Amino acid sequence: MEAGKDPPPDFITDFTNSTNSTNLTLFWSEEPIEAKGFFSIPHPIIALMYIMYIAITLAAVGGNSIVCYIVIAYQRMRTVTNFFIVNLAVGDITMAILCIPFTFVANFVTMYWPFGSIMCPIVTYAQAVSVFISAYTLVAISIDRYIAILYPLRPRMTKLQAKVIILLIWVVSLVTPLPTAILSRLIPLPNMTVYTCAEDWESPIQRYYYSMTLMVLQYFFPLFVLIFTYTKIAVVVWGKTAPGEAEDGRDQRLAASKRKMIKMMIACVTAFTLSWLPFNVLHVVGDQHPGIYTYAHIIYIWFICHWLAMSHACLNPLIYWWMNSKFRAGFHYVCRCLPWMNPIPDHSELLSRTTIHQRLTTNTTALIAAAPIKPMHDT
């Protein structure tokens, strides 16, 4: 699309849709569809786009699947926080499988929706649900850490309570964006025989208010809660002794362990914030000033913002591997056949004390049984 050429209203509303759904029409023109696509983008950039989207898809599915396996396979890893981490991983896998490939093809390859009427609401709804799951799971973790650190004498959250909260997160995540699933359908592009997948609202103002509401619920409200809780936590953990805590060596070790966990979760929150921030800013600015979408190189800006948002699906496993010794040991053990994973670190810290005791007992018994029996001589 040439700079300065006014796009039709459908293009503006399709493009400026919020994080709740997939934007599936970047350009509009009256040229035949054969002339559309990457006609104005250099081939090296096209190849780079393919590599970048394929990379985050594979990393998200593989990394988050390993995270789920580590928590499920090792009893010692089945903690309240790790249950929430598994929920984060499931949401990211959903994003990687149902959103990233489809949005990439529709936005940058075909420039229209080629996957049929059934997949249209499924993909848009799945993206909305996965963003809600990520945001509110991070909120649940932050509130759990907030209560545990600022009110250490209160009872800790049980595993059953964590599972109930995860269920509630899914209910909220599935119910809130239902209008996206109901209203997403194929809309014919002007003067063409192909379609775009978009929400079909009765008026642009309805679309605008719905998109803004979802943006607040998906991003800005969770971000406010996360900043508030982790600021309070940081003041207590790094600024002074937590209420009710002693100063002996055991408590100092527990405090150090808490700091490591808090650092890891702050890194996850930072990744979520920075990944989705450019995409949300672009849509807020676009809603206020739709003329920016007539800019000749807007596709590059949109590509960068969209890729950053989608890349969040693969960042959390990298953070766990980097900042948590147990997850790092689990990753190395699962991927031990890969040459760059050698040498394999000891993964015994993933095992429960009971399992370690059983293995030590078994090994000791085997050694005794295998040892040669020397005859005893009278002296």
* pLDDT tens track for 214-244: 999 999 999 999 999 999 999 988 876 555 5
Confidence check: pLDDT of 1 > 70: no
Predicted TM-score (pTM) of this structure: 0.80
d(CA 220, CA 236): 25
d(CA 312, CA 327): 19
Q: Which of 16-25, 162-171, 362-371 has the weakest average pLDDT?
A: 16-25
Please return the burial class of 132, using the count of CB atoms within 10 Å of its CB with bins 0-12, 13-18 and 19+. buried
Query: pLDDT: is 130 or 46 the higher one?
Result: 130
For 46-84, what is each residue's pLDDT tens digit?
889 999 999 999 999 999 999 999 999 999 999 999 999
Residue 14 has a pLDDT of 46
Helix spans in 151-195 (H): 159-175, 178-183
Confidence check: pLDDT of 200 > 50: yes
Tokens of 221: 């409200």
Query: pLDDT: is 138 or 11 the higher one?
Result: 138
CA distances from residue 159 to 165, 171, 217, 245, 345 in whole angstroms, order as listed: 10, 19, 26, 24, 29
Report the CATH fold assignment for 41-236+258-335. Answer: Rhopdopsin 7-helix transmembrane proteins (1.20.1070)
Confidence check: pLDDT of 333 > 80: yes
Other C-beta atoms closer than 10 Å to the C-beta of 54 total: 13
- Taking the CA atoms of 189, 194, 197 and 199 in sequence, report the sign of the dihedral they define: positive
Q: Which residue has the tokens 């300065």?
A: 4
Q: Which of 56-70, 273-287, 320-334, 337-351 has the weakest average pLDDT?
A: 337-351
d(CA 198, CA 24): 7
User: Residues of the chain with pLDDT > 70: what percent?
Assistant: 74
| Cβ–Cβ < 8 Å for 5, 195 | no
For 107-122, what is each residue's pLDDT tens digit?
888 888 999 999 999 9
With a CB cutoff of 8 Å and minimum separation 6, the contacts of 174 are: 129
